[in-house]
A and B are shown apart, each in its own frame.
Chain A
Amino acid sequence: MNMHTQPQRTPAETALIDAFGDRLSLLPGDGAVMLKRDDAIEAIKHGLPTRRVESWHYTDLRRLLNAVPDFDPAANAKAIAPIVDGSTVVSILNGKSDAKVPVIEGVTFQPLSEKLIDGSIAPGLDPYGSDDAIGALNTAFVADGYFVDIADGTELEKPIELQNLQAGGQTHVRLPVRVGTGAKAVIVERQTGDGAVLGSSVSQLVLGEGAEVTWLIVQEQPETATHLAQFKAHLGKNSKLTVFFMNAGGKLVRQEIVVRTTGEGADFKLRGINLLAGDTHTDVTMVLDHAVPHTTSTEVIRNVVTGKARGAFQGRINVHQYAQKTNAKMACNTLLLSDDGEFSTKPELEIFADDVVCGHGATVTEIDHDHLFYLMARGVDEKTARGLLVKAFVAEVIEELDDEAIVEALEARLDGWFVTHG
């Protein structure tokens, strides 16, 4: 958190601190968990991060978070159809785990409230650094979620869709997922709902040796919601993780992706698209630590900015001193379609090992005029031609996912967005 001496608290800061006092008796947790909560609210008392805090450079949370809704116990959400047919659906309804839990072989789902009460989740509640405002907010208020355990060697045929559905007030959920040795799974993290919600969501993934996971974050919040999300992962030896995210909604959105390779031979891929419209603010911040030798990563981010939307991508790749033979590549490309929109990119490399190959590229451009002309010369009208080109620009990232059902499902979401905003 911001260590500068803070001037007066903002109404949002006051509201959060007051809410903590009011909610305290309702928050589940043993002694260890409650101590973590106390530490977390202390961090918030020091003030929400401003743009002077480097990792929040493009999202001055202190200034942008100007309304904190009260908790709304009456608000109800209903489970929705999964984006990929036949997925195993597990829902969190306005912050509470659903009573109905599916049964599939090799997978255990446990409501997180139980693990808060027995304290077994306490060690995972620490924020990852002094600037981790989302971690602190979530640790202070988290009441439920799911703990998912995929046993060693389990190979899931169908995706698991974890739905975090909001209806009103505040929701703070957490999704720890352990994937055992050699296990394979596709997990969809669905973030959507209604109303002027303030939500925090923290996913924590641990990949065992040789595990392979594709994790899709599909964020389609209404343009009234504040969505503060974090995805953290540890990659074991020879494990493979592909994270795909699609941000297509929300008023104030911050998606953090914090990944660490902890075993040699691990491979991380990040593919993401930001579809930004209206008067909104979206920030994707990735911190990737190559902590051991012989690990690889690639990141491809594509952004489309319309209306008065403001977007930012910060991507920091840290290569530790012992992480020799690291190979890391990052690219961030933006199509800025409106003069009122803006997009900022900060792709950082922090490199302490010498035997590495690391690089990044970033571009901000308009639609390629030659391409546009070509399509128009073939009789396609300008509006349609533009639409085709913009869609192709982001669809490229989806098509890389290499699983027909998933690609189709995501392209359907994409089409949906273009119908509304195109």
Chain B
Amino acid sequence: MPAVQDTIDRVRKIDVDQYKYGFQTEIAMDKAPKGLSEDIIRFISAKKDEPSWMLEWRLEAYRRWLTLDEPTWARVHYPKIDFQDIYFYAAPKSTPGPTSLSDVDPELLKVYEKLGIPLREQEILAGVQKTDASELEEVSDNVYKSGRVAVDAVFDSVSVVTTFKKELAQAGVIFCSISEAIREHPELVKKYLGSVVPTSDNYYATLNSAVFTDGSFVFVPKGVRCPMELSTYFRMNERNTGQFERTLIIAEEGAYVSYLEGCTAPQRDENQLHAAVVELVALDDAEIKYSTVQNWYPGDAEGKGGIYNFVTKRGDCRGDRSKISWTQVETGSAITWKYPSCILRGDDSSGEFYSIAVSNGYQQVDSGTKMIHLGKNTSSRIISKGIAAGFSQNTYRGQVSAHRKATNARNFTNCDSLLIGDQCGAHTVPYMEAKNSTAQFEHEATTSKISEDQKFYVMQRGIPEEEAIALIVNGFVKDVIQQLPMEFAVEAQKLIGISLEGSVG
């Protein structure tokens, strides 16, 4: 992650078009035949050398999925997905499961280098020159501080490498691909997989349960503060593949972990499907911080191509005083359907959701959160900033509910939308449901455009129009950016600027 600072600048030189990660890589691939059937699921399970209980789990999900209808309530429109026209499994051929970096296809390493994600541990250890960092701090909070980050890189269907495993293991932290976890730590997987997002949860989550191919697994034992940031980079490369990753993070009593997720994909005319499931479990006094910078290919200027991003993310504050915090910066994908949620089960537990969703071109975003208050004295906080430009549609959809026994539930929600241009739409759909007289919910929302006065003022100081807008927008989203780990904050700010390019007519 160090050097991510320059990620955008470096990568944008690679590509002439808007989307800066639009290269594809020629790597020999190992694929299952197109389409979905029990045989394909058996194939995936066999490829991953899974125990039979896992196969059964998948098949059960698949059978249930066959009985479900695609949901239609979100404010997104797309042609019907032909699930028989998708590759559900694609893996780089040379990697039956690399054990060290030297086993990884050098072409693959190059991909991650292009993306600014160094997988070589020594590079990370070398860190970044910290000259005048203290002075930088005076300039703004957005300074770049170097830190060490362990990375799990997922290429199409499989995890290609995980760095820093040894050092993490010394601290007792397990950080590996979910496939490896199923083989090496079956007891933990059995105990927690599907315990937050059951296989029956929703159409895409059920599909994911049947066909998930890889993803990350994190286990932080009791009392351990994870010694470094953990990160996964997802890359979709192969044509017509779906990516169905599954991430499971468990923080035992008193544990703490901060996890980052980044996503990119090459430019293609066809739409590609991404249906992930992320489950977080926080036991007593544990804290999980989950940050996402999502930059899947959004489609071209005419709305052709792009990723369908149908994701189920949910955190379970299972223990008392536990805390789960979601932060997301969503700039990519043709369609985003995503509601990272918190189930506040433990007494005094708390949930947070900080979101920036930028849409441009013909992108459609329907995203938000659910805060389900079940325990006593639970609190939640939602800050959502939506920015719509071009012909895009940007919807915040959020639910806050306090159940009968959730005494003293507290929620504060603020969702603001900004419109750039008059061909886009910004929508706010909050659901507030209180079943306890001691609940206190506060919700506020605004929608407006960038003020001409502000823009003129900034331009009068010599800042060109597009940069003036990016500056004002970055001010608008500041509250959320501040929640991101430093390295992501810088990347996210630049990404927002890039996403809005061409929005000024």
A and B touch in the complex (CB under 8 A): yes
Residues of A within 8 Å of B432, CB to CB, are 344-346, 362, 364
* Contact between chains at B447 and A356 (CB < 8 Å): yes
On whether the beta carbons of B449 and A356 are closer than 8 Å, the reply is: yes
Q: CB within 8 Å of A: which of B437-457?
A: 437-449
B246 to chain A, nearest CB (A): 28
B422 and A351 form a contact (CB under 8 A): no
Task: Kindly state the separation between the CA atoms of A365 and B404 in the bound complex, as whole angstroms.
Answer: 15
Partner of B417, one of A57, A336, A338, A351: A351
A413 at the interface (CB under 8 A from B): no
Question: Are A346 and B430 in touch, CB under 8 angstroms?
Answer: yes
Contact indicator A364/B434 (Cβ below 8 Å) = yes
- B425 lies within 8 A of chain A by Cβ: yes
Question: Considering the chains assembled together, what is the distance between the CA atoms of A356 and B424 in angstroms?
Answer: 13
Question: A359 at interface (Cβ–Cβ under 8 A)?
Answer: yes
Q: How large is the interface on A (under 10, 10 to 19, 20 to 34, 35 or more residues)?
A: 35 or more
Task: Verify if B420 is at the interface (C-beta below 8 Å from A).
Answer: yes
Rounded to whole angstroms, the CA-CA distance of A348 and B443 in the bound complex is 12
Contacting A363 at CB < 8 Å: which of B420, B422, B443?
B443
Q: Would you call B270 an interface residue if the criterion is a C-beta within 8 Å of the partner chain's C-beta atoms?
A: no
Contact B434 A359 (CB under 8 A): no
Contact A350 B425 (CB under 8 A): yes
Is the beta-carbon distance between B428 and A354 smaller than 8 angstroms?
A: no
B429 contacts the other chain (CB 8 A): yes
Bound Cα distance from A334 to B431, whole angstroms: 14
Most buried by B among A349, A360, A365: A349
Q: Give Cα distance in the complex from A337 to B439, angstroms.
A: 10
Q: Are B437 and A347 in contact (CB under 8 A)?
A: no
Are A336 and B439 touching (Cβ within 8 A)? yes
Whether B185 is near chain A, meaning CB under 8 Å from some CB there, is no
Cα distance A353–B441 in the bound complex, in angstroms: 29
B434 contacts A344, CB within 8 Å? yes
Pair B433/A344 contact, Cβ less than 8 Å: yes
A348 CB → nearest B CB, Å: 5
With A354-B449, A364-B439 in contact, is A359–B444 under 8 Å at CB?
A: yes
**Could you say which residues of chain B place their CB within 8 Å of the CB of A362?**
430, 432, 441-444
B427 on interface, CB distance cutoff 8 Å: yes
Provide the residues of chain A in CB contact with B442, threshold 8 Å.
361-363
Instruction: Check A349 against B447 for contact (C-beta < 8 Å).
Output: yes
Contacts of A130 in B (CB 8 A): none
Partner of B436, one of A339, A355, A356: A339
For the complex, give the distance between the alpha carbons of A348 and B75 in Å. Answer: 13
Task: Say whether B428 contacts A348, CB under 8 Å.
Answer: yes
Cα(A361)–Cα(B428), bound, Å: 12
- Judging by beta carbons under 8 Å apart, are B445 and A359 in contact? yes
**Chain B residue nearest in CB terms to A357:** B448
Whether A321 contacts B428 by the Cβ 8 Å rule is: no
Shortest CB–CB separation between residue A142 and chain B, in angstroms?
A: 32
Is B150 in contact with chain A by the CB < 8 A criterion? no
Q: Is the CB of A360 within 8 A of B427?
A: no
Inside 8 A of A347's CB, which chain B residues have their CB?
428, 430, 443, 445
| Chain B proximity of A237: nearest CB distance (Å) | 22
Contacts of B427 in A (CB 8 A): 348-351
Once the chains bind, are B434 and A342 in contact (CB under 8 Å)? Answer: yes
Is B186 interfacial (CB-CB < 8 Å)?
no
- The docked-state distance in angstroms from the alpha carbon of A351 to that of B426 is 5
**Which B residues are CB-close (under 8 A) to A365?**
440-441
B423: A residues at CB distance < 8 A? 321
The CB with the most chain A CB atoms within 10 A, among B433, B434, B440, B446, is that of B434
Known: A362-B441, A363-B441. A349 touches B73 (CB 8 A): no
Q: Is A70 an interface residue (CB 8 A)?
A: no
Q: Report whether A356 and B448 are in contact in the complex, using a CB–CB cutoff of 8 Å.
A: yes
Measured between beta carbons, the chain A residues less than 8 angstroms from B438 are 366
- Chain A residue numbers with a CB within 8 Å of B441 are 362-365
- Residues of B within 8 Å of A366, CB to CB, are 437-438, 440
Cβ contact of B434, chosen from A57, A334, A360, cutoff 8 A: A334
A341 at the interface (CB under 8 A from B): yes
Give the nearest-CB partner of A341 in chain B.
Answer: B437
| B453 CB to nearest A CB, Å | 13
Q: A365 to B412: give the CA distance in the assembly, Å.
A: 12
8 A-B contacts (beta carbon < 8 Å): A336-B436, A342-B435, A344-B433, A345-B432, A348-B428, A351-B427, A364-B440, A366-B438
4 A-B pairs besides A347-B428, A355-B422, A360-B444 with CB distance below 8 A are: A341-B435, A344-B431, A348-B430, A366-B440
Binding site for A on B (CB under 8 A): 73, 402, 404, 417, 419-449
